[in-house]
A and B are shown apart, each in its own frame.
Chain A
Amino acid sequence: MILLFIVLIPIIFSFFCILPKQTKIIQWITSCAIILASLLAFISCFYVLSSGKILFLSNIFAVDLLSVPFVLVIAIVSLICSISSIGYVNRDIEINEMKKSYIKPFYILLLLFVCTMYLSVLCQNLGLIWVSIEATTVISALLVGFYRKRASLEAAWKYIILCTVGIAFALVGLILIYQAEQISLFNGVETLNWFKLISYGKNLDPNLMKISFIFIIVGYGTKAGIFPMHTWLPDAHGQSPAPISALLSGVLLNCAVYAILRHHLLLSSAVGSNFSSNLLVGFGALSMIFSVPFILTQRDIKRLFAYSSVEHMGIILIGFGLGNFFGVLGAMLHMFNHSIGKSTLFLSTGSIVKRYGSNNIARLKGIGQTKPITSIIFLCVLLAIAGSPPFGLFLSETYIAYAIFQKFGFFPGIVYLTLIATVFAAFMYYLGKMYFSNQRPDFKFKERIGLQHIFLSIPIVILIITGCFLTPSINIISKIVEYFMRGI
């Protein structure tokens, strides 16, 4: 029942947002809905960690150990984004970037967006996962183009068209899985139920399953921003309001990765893990390699972080594709850390960019003097995303590097480390340009500490904790990793 409420609360509260006219009440309703849904999500995760899994409504809704990190990420990031969005929306109204009449649709869409993301990780029926992920596209496209400027509408259009076409390929993959299910069951009751499918995985037609996975990885890979299907990602992340960029990068990409992982486990049970693992590592490596030149030559700060998301998705896929303990552990931690870090980075960047009125890195000079408090948060999360210690991403990247050396040997490991080091160097260069340069003389501004700064500091604390205190020996983490590894 709790799972149904996690999905229903944002929908019900979005109806409550229709009536009131005052901005504050709408923001208050939205925050309450997200807090409640997050609270229920935390409770369900703790319950799953202690008891194994929750099933509801003829197994349509289910949370198992694989869903836990994804549900946790949605709960934490949506909480941070919804509360931080209050400040952003108010500022947008002040500087006439957003009309007052847009507030209501913005928050209604935000709630529905969060609801669809929850739905995509709470369902275990492969068909419903597809439906939910397609629903995230439809709703978030309106949010991407929310400013209704030329660039934002262009980004939104490309986003909806590319993702709809991409995900149509995943639909073909699903049809093939369903056919495999029908053949193996000799026309019994078929449902695309993941638990059922995995239980008789060995009976599924191996060729059909392999072909279906190719369609699945192309389809969901488009949504996850994997190279070469990533082209919508920099545009959409660059043009949407900061809280939406944070949600897109921090959560939405993970939802697609979640779908890919479910299919990866299914294929592993049908034909062994080699085929899908190789595809995951291959696409992951391509994403890492081809994002680096764009990171090195980028001028727009939000696009820079979008390309960084492509790189990080590559790292995560490589980790899961490796399939050994440290690979999976690294990928799980990396996914969690990246989501927390990247969403905070987009939120702090949004605040800085609004002050300067430009996304151009060359124009963002002296941010440490102009916005001293926000820029410290920005500095910390940028270091975290670049993979610097003591933050969690350093640890997860190191685990994956160790796993690559273990499985593929010296040369691939060195290539991986070189790519990571190059991205780190590029980020330090950009940071130096923005943080340690002199402020423009006409640009005097003093910043007061506010509630949003405290909220944005929480992820930094989480990243330090995951970097310093999370070890593989912690029971909860090893439990999740072993659950995944049992499937491959």
Chain B
Amino acid sequence: MDFLSFIFLITSLWMLQTRNVTKSVYLLILQSLSLSVLMIGIPMFSSGNDFNLFHSAIAAILTFFVKVVFLPFIILRVNKKLRSNDLVPMNMSQGLSLLIGIFLIGFSQVLNSSGFFSTSHLSSGYSFFAISSILIGCFYMLSHRALLCQIIGIIVMENGIFLYSVSLTNGMPLIFEFGTFFDLLVGVLVMGIMTNYIHGLFESTDTENLTELKG
């Protein structure tokens, strides 16, 4: 499990210095794949006799199909349709972006271990990886200026939140998990459609173009 958590974290960090959408999607697939194994592995090792195989297996299968298969497929398809092989414009250099990512991981460790919120229930062995991924996902959206990167950033954040949920609670109620996966799937589909429209009008997917509305 520790190795998978490490892969989970390294993939998000690696994304920060990648300027290619396709490469970022492959890293996302790797991260989601490790998440889907963690979704079943963490409850199995932490809950002992209370382990609910059915619940964890459904959550892991859903994660696999939605986050490893469908969402990357949608993003890669949109990217192919846009025929954009250019490097993603960034708000800072790749090195600085990576450095900030490492700083965010350190910050997550401080948050996780210091009892910052004066309650012991906020952290578990895996919550450090989850918090790091949430923060890195947020930062990825800020540092990369392409529309598709913002979608990827949201999925990285969601991956972090799902890892956090499984590390603290061994998984949320199934009906809720179904709902969140459905929302995420439709949400990414809608964002994909919008990326297409925006590219059609602006002839670019650089978020720098979206600054007309102010005040």
Q: Which residues of A contact B (CB under 8 A)?
A: 60, 125, 127-128, 130-131, 134-135, 137-138, 141-142, 145, 148-151, 153-158, 160-161, 164-165, 168, 171-172, 174-176, 178-180, 182-183, 187, 190-192, 205, 207-208, 211, 234-235, 238-239, 294, 297-300, 303
Contacts and interface: CB of A to CB of B under 8 A. Distances in A.
A130 B177 CA distance: 11
A164 B154 contact: yes
10 smallest beta-carbon distances between A and B, as pairs: A131-B179, A127-B176, A207-B119, A154-B210, A134-B183, A175-B165, A235-B213, A138-B187, A179-B168, A179-B169
Contact of A131 (B161, B165, B183): B183
Task: Give the interface centre of A158, A172, A180 by most chain B CB atoms within 10 Å.
Answer: A172
Contacts of A234: 213, 215
A153 B201 contact: yes
A164 B151 CA distance: 10
B172 A145 contact: no
Given A138-B190, A153-B197, A154-B212, A165 B138 contact: yes
A171 B141 CA distance: 19
Interface residues of B, number: 42
A211 B186 contact: no
Nearest to A190: B173
B172 A168 contact: no
Contacts, number: 133
Given A127-B175, A150-B201, A157-B210, A179 B121 contact: yes
Contacts of A148: 197, 201
Interface in B147-161: 147, 150, 154, 157-158, 161
Contacts of B169: 175, 178-179, 182
A233 B112 CA distance: 34
Contacts of A127: 172-173, 175-176, 179
B176 to A, nearest CB: 3
Nearest to A238: B213
Contacts of A300: 215
B63 to A, nearest CB: 15
Contacts of A125: 175-176
A149 B201 CA distance: 8
Contacts of A165: 138, 141, 154, 157
Given A187-B50, A207-B119, A161 B150 contact: yes
A440 to B, nearest CB: 25
A301 B193 CA distance: 29
B118 A207 contact: yes
